[in-house]
Chains A and B, each alone.
Chain A
Amino acid sequence: MPGRWNREGDRSARETQILGWILVVPAMAAVGALILYPLVKGFQQSIQSGGILFGELPGYVGTRNYRDVLNDPTSRDAMRHTLEYVLLAVSLELVLGIFVAVTLHRVFRGRGFVLAVLILPWALPSVVSGVLWRRVFDPDNGLLNSVLLHLHIINQPQVWLASGRGAIIYITLVHVWGVLPLISLIFLAGLQSVPDEVYSASAVDGAGPWRQFRYITLPLLRPSMAIALTVGTLLAISIFDEIYVLNGTALNTRSILIQVYNTTFVEADFAHGTALAFVLAAVTAVLGGFYALALRRSTV
């Protein structure tokens, strides 16, 4: 094909070609050796028996490990919990994220300060978020119990993190606290791309704040919404730190990753742990593909 850089005798083209390769080698080597290779190894593991507890020699077992974890009641609970975390976290993040973005969109005095404060929860380790929130939910002397007792909404202290659905809600809240800044920024960027004249024009046309929000802001946020939705989902589906800090590996709040951790490192069953992890990987890969598509559609 004519006009290619790599044409014979084209010195700068050859230089470009060689330099390009030299520059990407370290990145590709790191990712290849420490991500792609283990990924293949892990997959091999997931189709072999080899849990030391089973007392078998390693050998090919096909999809057995996958069938096992998909039928295991604890794993299924973990999947159900994860679905709950995702649905709850994402809907909270979308609603609150739009609220924050709309609030902070217009310039006002002190906006820089608020924006700086806003990203703090995102910048902190999620383990630290868990630590900070832990006292709120403590059954003996936590903030939640004392406030609710005081207001006579409850008449005896509750063990919040022990109740089934409730515990998931509280943990999700902590998760959302850390992720909301990122989601808000995505929406804020979406709003910033809307020229102010659109609002001025609609105000001239007599549209009130609600109608402006409903008919201008929301439709214009649609591309950001696709991004926020996917980012929120990918972060929530792999929730681990907050659960681990707030409630350990307790059964009532186990997510898929907690279950993977427990299977692999507590029960030392690498084969089933890896299989479950690959189930999660498959789901995220599909979601990631969706993300890429949504991004492409919103940028073209």
Chain B
Amino acid sequence: MTTTLGMRVLKALAVTLIVVWSLAPIVLGVTTSLSTQREVNEGPSHWFPHHPTTQAYRALIGGTTGEHSGGTVTQRGEFVQSMWVSAELALLSAGLTLVVATMAAYAFGRLRFRFGGFLLALLVGTMVVPIFVVVIALFKLMANAHLIDTKKGLVLVFVATLTPLATWLLYTQVREMPAEPEEAALIDGCRRWQAFVRVVIPQMSSGIAAVAAILALSVWGEFLIPLLLTQTQNAKPVTVLITEYVGKYTTNYPILAAGGVLALIPPALLALALNKRITGMLAGS
């Protein structure tokens, strides 16, 4: 096909636009986080800090001292602690969900057992239940079980809410995978579960990695559930903590942006590292 010069320019323009649109808010966040509150207040001429400073990061991690707070108060150590909580929640929830979902996906995809079809439909059907409906009722249940404000409680809820999606994604993968390697393993002397562990799981590894990333990203980004189910710093993930830095009347933008930038680094790295697998999995679902 012939491509005219005009078309090519147009296309370059469109590509640039997409890149700018995707990156601009992130870049703006980085520059803001390297500014001082005064520079931010001076407005237009100071979108890029003249004298980049890590002051906001220091305030975020080390705590604010009264006069620089500008509407935002941070406690020493709480941000780092919340980052760890987020990481712990993401890893534990994604890991547990993967175990549960991989087993279920294989069973639904490969094994014929009574009520299998019905259970799959039930499981997948819960994907359309807005989590909020459940969380209100869960709040009471969890309070009775003393699981409010604990990481354990959050992980349990995340596993339950993510299992349907993870099972569905892995189930479609199992259905597309050739059955022969597993059958070869059965002939080679494996029992079903041995074939599952030794042959099917390795066969699914790239899909499992993609789903793992999607799960971890989604737990890291989860806001509503921990907002309702946590109260103290004990189990508060970074998403919830950041929103507390938004002041009622004025906001310290450098500190807020610094929090945003630090909170986006882990998911951004994960997304960049596994981007091919993630895009493949998302596009296929």
Verify whether A and B have any Cβ pair under 8 Å: yes
Chain A residues with CB under 8 Å of chain B are 5-6, 12, 15-17, 19-21, 23-24, 26-28, 30-31, 33-39, 41-42, 45, 99-100, 103-104, 108, 110, 114-129, 131-136, 138, 140-141, 143, 145-147, 149-150, 177, 181-182, 185-186, 188-189, 192, 199-200, 203, 209, 234, 238, 240-241, 244-245, 257, 260-261, 264-265, 270, 273-274, 277-278, 280-281, 284-285, 287-289, 291
Judged by a CB distance under 8 angstroms, whether B95 is at the interface is: no
- The A contact surface, by secondary structure, is helix
List 24 A-B pairs, Cβ < 8 Å.
A16-B112, A19-B111, A38-B134, A38-B137, A39-B129, A39-B134, A39-B137, A103-B14, A117-B22, A119-B271, A123-B217, A127-B242, A128-B239, A131-B260, A132-B29, A185-B282, A199-B1, A240-B223, A260-B132, A265-B228, A270-B140, A274-B136, A274-B137, A277-B130
The minimal Cβ–Cβ distance linking A194 to chain B, given in whole angstroms, is 14
1/0 contact string of B252-265 vs chain A (CB within 8 Å): 01001101100110
Q: Are A120 and B141 in contact (CB under 8 A)?
A: no
The minimal Cβ–Cβ distance linking A88 to chain B, given in whole angstroms, is 17
The answer, among A125, A140, A185, A278, for a CB contact under 8 Å with B279, is A185
Give Cα A213 to B74, complex, Å: 53
Give Cα A38 to B161, complex, Å: 12
- Which residues of A lie under 8 Å from residue B103 when comparing CB positions? 23-24, 26-27
Give Cα A15 to B100, complex, Å: 20
Q: Are A280 and B217 in contact (CB under 8 A)?
A: no
Q: Are A273 and B160 in contact (CB under 8 A)?
A: no
The minimal Cβ–Cβ distance linking B40 to chain A, given in whole angstroms, is 6
- Which residues of B lie under 8 Å from residue A116 when comparing CB positions? 271-272, 275
Q: Are B136 and A177 in contact (CB under 8 A)?
A: no
Chain B residues with CB under 8 Å of chain A are 1-2, 7, 11, 14-15, 18-19, 21-23, 25-26, 28-29, 32, 40-44, 47, 99-101, 103-104, 106-108, 111-114, 116, 119, 122-123, 125-130, 132-138, 140-141, 156-157, 159-161, 163-164, 167, 191-193, 196, 217, 220-224, 227-228, 239-240, 242-243, 246, 250-251, 253, 256-257, 259-260, 263-264, 267-268, 270-272, 275, 278-279, 282-284
- Which residues of B lie under 8 Å from residue A264 when comparing CB positions? 136
The minimal Cβ–Cβ distance linking B119 to chain A, given in whole angstroms, is 6
- Which residues of A lie under 8 Å from residue B164 when comparing CB positions? 31
- Which residues of A lie under 8 Å from residue B119 when comparing CB positions? 24, 28
Contact flag A140-B41 (CB < 8 Å), given A16-B112, A16-B113: yes
Q: Are B243 and A244 in contact (CB under 8 A)?
A: yes
Give Cα A287 to B101, complex, Å: 25
